[in-house]
């Protein structure tokens, strides 16, 4: 092989290796920050044949079970059960809950799955009014798919 071609081949190979390493590091970093959405049933029974692993970051949406909210009198710690149509999961949260948070209401919590069906939440979001439900929760619970008003032509 011509020495000049050999140098070009080494340079191109080095560039390809560096690019592959950079893309691998980016994908690894993004994988750490992806929060997949689950319903309580999907956490307990699995989603598409795979159950979330303890330590995995996720978002969970469902209804707060009535009578399940327990507040610690000495701190801002609160725990409550969350359910959809199936089993319940327990959400533990340290902080001030949204003003609209109450039992029987749909919420979305972001956090880390602990052992079993316990989620250590970092953020809890409540719905805005009685009719609103997060689209992902509505689709998971009732099979209702959100349609933009411009796409709905049946007046």
Is the same domain home to 19 and 49?
no
Q: How many domains does the chain have?
A: 2
45 within domain boundaries: yes
Could you tell me the CATH number of the domain that includes residue 66?
2.40.50.140
Spatial separation of the C-alpha atoms in residues 150 and 37, rounded to whole Å: 27
Average pLDDT over residues 4-17: 95
114 within domain boundaries: yes
54 within domain boundaries: yes
Is residue 5 helix, strand or coil?
helix
Question: Is the predicted pLDDT of residue 153 greater than 70, yes or no?
Answer: no
Question: Is the predicted pLDDT of residue 27 greater than 80, yes or no?
Answer: yes
The DSSP line for 46-98 is -BTTBPPPTT-EEEEEEEEPTT--EE-TTSSEEEEEEESSS-EEEEEEESPPP
Is the same domain home to 24 and 46?
no
Cβ atoms within 10 Å, residue 84: 21
Q: pLDDT by residue (tens digit) across 119-152?
A: 999 999 987 665 666 777 777 777 666 666 565 5
132 within domain boundaries: no
153 within domain boundaries: no
Is 128 annotated in some ligand binding site? yes
Average pLDDT over residues 26-46: 85
Contact, 145 vs 126, CB < 8 A?
no
pLDDT of residue 141: 73
Is the same domain home to 108 and 41?
yes
**Model's pTM, two decimal places?**
0.65
Query: Which domain, by its residues, includes 108?
Result: 36-126
131 within domain boundaries: no
Is the same domain home to 9 and 53?
no
| Beta-bridge partners for 73 | none
Higher model confidence: residue 53 or residue 14?
14
Cβ atoms within 10 Å, residue 113: 21
Is the same domain home to 77 and 46?
yes
Q: pLDDT by residue (tens digit) across 57-104?
A: 889 999 999 999 999 999 999 999 999 888 999 999 999 998 888 888
Is the same domain home to 10 and 43?
no
Is 155 annotated in some ligand binding site? no
């Amino acid at each position: 092989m011509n020495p000049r071609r050999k140098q070009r081949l080494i340079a191109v190979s080095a560039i390809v290796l560096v690019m592959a390493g950079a893309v691998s590091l980016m994908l690894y970093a993004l994988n750490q920050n992806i929060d997949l959405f689950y319903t309580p049933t999907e956490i307990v029974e699995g989603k598409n044949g795979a159950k979330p692993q303890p330590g995995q970051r996720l978002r969970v949406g469902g209804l707060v079970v009535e009578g399940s909210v327990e507040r610690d009198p000495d701190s801002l710690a609160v725990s409550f059960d969350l359910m959809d149509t199936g089993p319940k999961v327990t959400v533990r949260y340290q902080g001030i809950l949204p003003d609209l948070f109450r039992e029987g209401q749909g919420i979305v919590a972001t956090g880390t799955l602990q052992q079993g069906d316990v989620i250590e939440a970092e953020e809890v979001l409540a719905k805005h009014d009685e009719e609103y439900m997060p689209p992902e929760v509505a689709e998971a619970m009732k099979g209702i798919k959100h349609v933009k008003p411009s796409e709905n032509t049946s007046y």
